[in-house]
């Protein structure tokens, strides 16, 4: 399924796939087993332009459109969701937040490094006691002269231990979403501690960390946007992040489909290829339809972003559908592979483990349904 892509978009897809097939796919099982990608891949991805896809050329990026971005995220998801997550969080969540809400000085300070893949960003919203309800977060930032002093902690932060800078959401006012502000905090700041979380089901090649802030002092210029705007800044970034997750999940489904088709043609039982059995074709056809549907929902949201139109609900629908479909696709792929699907000689069990988190992070499926339900009925089920 291709729609009417431009020549540049088609070329980007084939360049991205060729690079990832050579420099990521052959190593992903090994990275998964040892719980870390070879971090040398990060600057290589920077050289190829993955980190600068939607960052304007004046800040060192490619200045690409949002469909091109989705093509990049889909190819990364197809190759290795751990790698997709590293890029998606550094450029998609951190880079875009600076681009949308930063001062010129903040953009000049952070974006060229992010676009090159030489600076890694992370996004610190979730806490041990506030996940789906980030408006209740407890990390505090208190003014001391013109500085801010941050205390508290964050949980499950992608790139946390590798990042050079983190956007930290902290309470500067009273309870609830309106009391939250956002800060750009260098991870080398005194009192900034990071602890890696091990034993994840999937996304084992990327680092996920717990962060602690023990009186971390930042200057006034670290405040992103206005005081009290932090919650809306976070929600706005997550809307865009959900388009990226939708694209990454489309890549997982596409990867499962390719693996299923190849295996069904080569594996014989009862003297015939698996592909000749109707029940096998059912699994392949369901996956094929869901792959197209996930991509179309994602590209619709991306097209709205590109045209500067409201896209919150469309991003929720894309993220919800594509993530649930990715789990279904990976589950079917394991079924089709039989016992061979259960071991990591083939990519399908990694697709299953990586897909599983997609219905949880950047807003769980339940939260997406509440957002979609609120848009349909005009009634909020959140409170
Ligand atoms: P909870 O909010 O406790 O939810 C538990 C269950 O209750 C879920 O099924 C949820 O859907 C359901 N639930 C909650 N509220 C409602 C409701 N009102 N109605 C119905 N059901 C409800 N966070 C970051 O800030 N930055 C990151 O980079 C980041 N990376 C992550 C990477 C990984 C690998 C993981 C696992 C998580 C990451 N997260 C990150 C955190 C992630 O966004 C949260 O885990 C997610 O938002 C869910 O929060 P929770 O885990 O606290 O679950």
Q: What three-state secondary structure class fits 222?
A: helix
Sign, CA torsion 108/110/115/116 = positive
Q: How many CA atoms lie within 13 A of 233 on its CB side?
A: 32
Residue 133 tokens read as 């309800």
Number of Cα atoms under 13 Å in the Cβ half of residue 111: 27
pLDDT for res 3: 73
Domain 7-120 belongs in CATH node 3.40.50.150: no
Which residue's C-alpha comes closest to atom 20 of ligand 1?
366
Pick from 45, 44, 43, 67: nearest CA to 54? 67
364 lines ligand 1 (CB under 6 A): yes
Q: Which two tokens stand for residue 228?
A: 């009290």
Cβ atoms of residues 298 and 246 within 8 Å:
yes
Main-chain dihedrals φ then ψ at residue 216, nearest 5 degrees: -80, 120
Extract the residue ranges of the chain whose pLDDT is less than 70.
1-2, 383
**Helices 66-79 + 278-306 axis angle, to 10:** 140
Among the options 74, 210, 314, 362, which is catalytic?
Answer: 362
Which numbered atom of ligand 1 lies nearest the CA of 126?
25
Q: Where are the domains of the chain?
A: 7-120, 123-228, 232-377
Q: Which two tokens mark 277?
A: 């059995």
Do residues 329 and 291 make contact, with C-beta atoms less than 8 angstroms apart?
yes
Distance CA 207, CA 157 (A): 8
- Taking CA atoms only, the protein residue closest to ligand 1 atom 2 is 132
Q: How far apart are CA 319 and CA 25, in angstroms?
A: 24
* Spatial contact of 137 and 169, defined as CB atoms under 8 Å apart: yes
CB of 123 sitting under 6 A from ligand 1 = yes
- List, in order, residues 6 or more apart from 369 with CB less than 8 Å away: 320
Domain 232-377 has CATH 1.10.150.120: no
Token pair belonging to 140: 């505090």
- What tokens does 334 get? 């394991």
Separation of 203 CA from ligand 1 center, angstroms? 16
Nearest CA, atom 35, ligand 1:
156
DSSP state of 62: -
C-alpha of residue 307 to centroid of ligand 1, in Å:
30
Question: Are 180 and 135 contacting, i.e. CB atoms less than 8 angstroms apart?
Answer: yes
Return the pLDDT at 78. Answer: 98
What's the gap in Å between 108 CA and the centre of ligand 1? 32
Name which residue sits closest to atom 31 of ligand 1, judged by CA. Answer: 156
Helices (H), the chain: 7-23, 28-33, 41-48, 66-79, 81-87, 96-101, 104-116, 230-266, 278-306, 312-337, 348-356, 365-377
Whole-Å CA distances, 53 to 24, 31, 191, 217 = 18, 25, 33, 32
Active site residue 104: no
Residue 38 burial (10 A CB sphere; 0-12, 13-18, 19+): middle
Question: CA dist 138 to 100, 132, 178, 187, 378, Å?
Answer: 25, 14, 13, 20, 29
Distance of alpha carbon 299 from alpha carbon 7, whole angstroms: 17
The CATH number assigned to the domain with range 123-228 reads 2.40.110.10
Q: Which atom of ligand 1 is nearest to the CA of 133?
A: 2
Q: Is 143 helix (H, G, I), strand (E, B) or coil?
A: strand
Rounded Cα gap, residues 222 and 286, in angstroms: 49
Question: Quick count: other Cβ atoms within 10 Å of Cβ 123?
Answer: 28
pLDDT of residue 117: 96
* Whole-angstrom distance, CA of residue 217 vs CA of residue 195: 20
- Does the beta carbon of 66 sit less than 6 angstroms from any atom of ligand 1? no
């Amino acid at each position: 399924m291709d729609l009417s892509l431009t020549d540049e978009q088609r070329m980007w897809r084939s360049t991205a796939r060729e690079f990832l097939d050579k420099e990521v796919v052959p190593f992903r099982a090994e990275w998964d087993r040892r719980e870390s990608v070879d971090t040398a891949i990060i600057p290589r991805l920077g050289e190829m332009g993955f980190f600068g896809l939607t960052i304007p050329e004046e800040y060192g990026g490619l200045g690409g459109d949002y469909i091109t971005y989705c093509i990049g995220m889909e190819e990364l998801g197809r190759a290795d969701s751990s790698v997709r997550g590293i890029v998606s969080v550094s450029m998609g969540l951190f880079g875009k937040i600076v681009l949308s809400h930063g001062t010129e000085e903040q953009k000049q300070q952070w974006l060229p490094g992010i676009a090159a893949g030489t600076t890694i960003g992370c996004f610190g919203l979730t806490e041990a006691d506030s996940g789906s309800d980030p408006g209740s977060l407890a990390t505090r930032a208190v003014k001391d002269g013109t500085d801010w002093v941050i205390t508290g902690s964050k949980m499950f932060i992608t790139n946390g231990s590798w990042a050079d800078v983190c956007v930290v959401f902290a309470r500067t006012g009273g309870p609830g979403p309106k009391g939250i502000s956002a800060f750009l905090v260098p991870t080398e700041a005194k009192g900034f501690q990071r602890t890696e979380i091990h034993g994840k089901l999937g996304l084992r090649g990327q680092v996920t960390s717990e962060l602690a802030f023990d009186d971390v002092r930042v200057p006034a210029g670290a405040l992103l946007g206005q005081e009290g705007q932090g919650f809306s800044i976070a929600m706005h970034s997550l809307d865009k992040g959900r388009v990226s997750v939708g694209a990454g999940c489309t890549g997982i489904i596409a990867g499962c489909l390719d693996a299923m088709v190849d295996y069904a043609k080569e594996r014989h039982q009862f003297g015939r290829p698996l592909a000749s059995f109707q029940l096998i074709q059912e699994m392949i056809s369901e996956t094929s339809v869901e792959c197209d549907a996930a991509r179309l929902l994602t590209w619709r949201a991306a097209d709205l972003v590109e045209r500067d139109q409201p896209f919150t609900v469309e991003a929720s629908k894309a993220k919800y559908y594509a993530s649930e479909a990715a789990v279904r696709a990976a589950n079917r792929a394991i079924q089709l592979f039989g016992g061979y699907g259960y071991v990591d000689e083939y990519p399908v069990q990694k697709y299953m483990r990586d897909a599983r988190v997609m219905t949880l992070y950047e807003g769980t499926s339940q939260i997406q349904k509440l957002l979609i339900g609120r848009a349909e009925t005009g009634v909020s089920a959140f409170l």
